[in-house]
């Protein structure tokens, strides 16, 4: 079994999961977060080194203040809990996203957890919150121009590896990108990092995306022929 190094999940379908059951959207988000608790552990136990979770996009601020506030409260609790669970296991927790307009309480917990787990080596749990790939690339470009103007870098030396260092986190490329909830789009998630990712879309709403469903995604990943633009001359159908 090939185990991907970096898995990304676009956590989608919490609202529809709830509506289908006559529950509020908030109940859907709560069920989604509860599901994440089990799933993250399972994923790290499988040997995956980096797990990126898209939990709130820059565009999600278009939602009602009530929903946004509910989600932010939920995230604060979730981050604290994951810090307890995962830091003991040697997992580093990082966050990707724009700081503005996240509220101070969130920024404080993000900063605290990032610093406290920074030396952990076993794996990385990356929460993408107020994350948008366009914002990330633009923010990176601004920092690059700044460093070039200040003589910190020579622009002629800018290559993919150096560019990657200017992103919110210097992570390996995505190997497997999963989206739950049935939409066939990226919704501004890791456009740079997903250049050669294998995509797995499922209609399952996130609260129902359990260990078995994750195994189906892994099986599908194992059946892919990753060529990266090359040709596998040993395969007889090539
Ligand atoms: C959760 O799913 C992802 C977040 C943006 C927090 P949604 O809230 O988008 O659920 P659906 O897509 O409306 O069902
Ligand atoms: C994408 O889901 C963002 C996250 C999962 C955090 P959305 O529900 O916001 O995406 P769209 O609006 O269907 O594209
Ligand atoms: Mg959605």
Q: Which ligand does the CA of 62 lie closest to?
A: 2
pLDDT of the residue at 203 = 98
CB 143 less than 6 A from any atom of ligand 1: no
pLDDT of the residue at 238 = 63
HEC readout, the chain: CCCCCEEEEECCCHHHHHHHCCCCHHHHHHHHHHHHHHHHHHHHHCCCCEEEEEEEEHHHHHCCHHHHHHHHHHHHHHHHHHHHHHHCCCEEEEEECCCCCCCHHHHHHHHHHHHHCCCCCCEEEEEEEEECHHHHHHHHHHHHHHHHHCCCCCHHHCCHHHHHHCCCCCCCCCCEEEECCCCCCCCCCCCCCCCCCEEEECCCCHHHCCHHHHHHHHHHHHCCCCCCCCCCCCCCCC
CB 13 less than 6 A from any atom of ligand 1: yes
pLDDT of the residue at 236 = 66
pLDDT of the residue at 1 = 94
Ligand 2: list residues with CB < 6 Å. 10-12, 54-57, 60, 183, 185, 187
pLDDT of the residue at 233 = 86
Q: Report the nearest-CA residue for atom 2 of ligand 2.
A: 12
For residue 227, report the distance from its CA to the centre of ligand 3, in Å. Answer: 31
Task: Enter the tokens of residue 219.
Answer: 């099986």
Q: For Cα atoms 215, 230, 236, give the angle at the middle one, nearest 5 degrees.
A: 75
pLDDT of the residue at 153 = 98
Helix orientation angle between 25-45 and 211-222, rounded to the nearest 10 degrees? 60
60 catalytically annotated: yes
Tens digit of each residue's pLDDT, the chain (238 residues): 999 999 999 999 999 999 999 999 999 999 999 999 999 999 999 999 999 999 999 999 999 999 999 999 999 999 999 999 999 999 999 999 999 999 999 999 999 999 999 999 999 999 999 999 999 999 999 999 999 999 999 999 999 999 999 999 999 999 999 999 999 999 999 999 999 999 999 999 999 999 999 999 999 999 999 999 999 888 766 6
Domains of the chain: 6-132+175-222 (3.40.1180.10)
CB 180 less than 6 A from any atom of ligand 1: no
CB 15 less than 6 A from any atom of ligand 1: yes
For residue 197, report the distance from its CA to the centre of ligand 3, in Å. Answer: 21
Say how far apart CA 168 and CA 190 lie, in whole Å: 11
Neighbour tally for 24: CB within 10 Å: 15
Counting from 1 in the atom list of ligand 2, the atom nearest the Cα of 55 is: 6
pLDDT in tens, 209-237: 999 999 999 999 999 999 999 998 887 66
For residue 114, report the distance from its CA to the centre of ligand 2, in Å. Answer: 25
Q: Which of 60, 120, 164, 188 is catalytic?
A: 60
pLDDT of the residue at 232 = 83
Counting from 1 in the atom list of ligand 2, the atom nearest the Cα of 12 is: 5
pLDDT of the residue at 237 = 66
What are the Cα distances from residue 189, in Å, to 209, 225, 230, 235?
Answer: 19, 23, 26, 33
């Amino acid at each position: 079994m090939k185990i991907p190094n970096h898995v990304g999940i676009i956590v989608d379908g919490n609202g529809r999961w709830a509506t289908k059951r006559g529950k509020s959207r908030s109940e859907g988000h709560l069920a989604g977060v509860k599901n994440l608790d089990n799933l993250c552990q399972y994923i790290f136990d499988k040997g995956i080194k980096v797990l990126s979770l898209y939990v709130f996009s820059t565009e999600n601020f278009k939602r009602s203040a009530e929903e946004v506030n509910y989600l932010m409260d939920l995230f604060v609790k979730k981050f604290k809990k994951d810090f307890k669970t995962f830091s003991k296991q040697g997992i580093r927790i990082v966050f990707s996203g724009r700081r503005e307009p996240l509220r101070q309480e969130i920024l404080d917990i993000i900063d605290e957890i990032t610093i406290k787990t920074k030396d952990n080596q076993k794996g990385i749990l990356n929460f993408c919150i107020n994350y948008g790939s366009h914002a990330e690339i633009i923010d990176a470009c601004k920092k690059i121009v700044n460093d070039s103007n200040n003589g910190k870098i020579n622009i002629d030396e800018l290559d993919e590896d150096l560019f990657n260092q200017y992103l919110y986190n210097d992570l390996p490329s995505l190997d497997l990108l999963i989206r739950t909830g049935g939409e066939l789009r990226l919704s501004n998630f890791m456009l740079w990092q997903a250049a050669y990712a294998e995509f797995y879309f499922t209609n399952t709403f996130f609260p129902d995306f359990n260990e078995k469903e994750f195994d189906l995604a892994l099986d599908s990943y194992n059946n892919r022929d990753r060529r990266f633009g090359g040709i596998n001359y040993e395969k007889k159908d090539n």
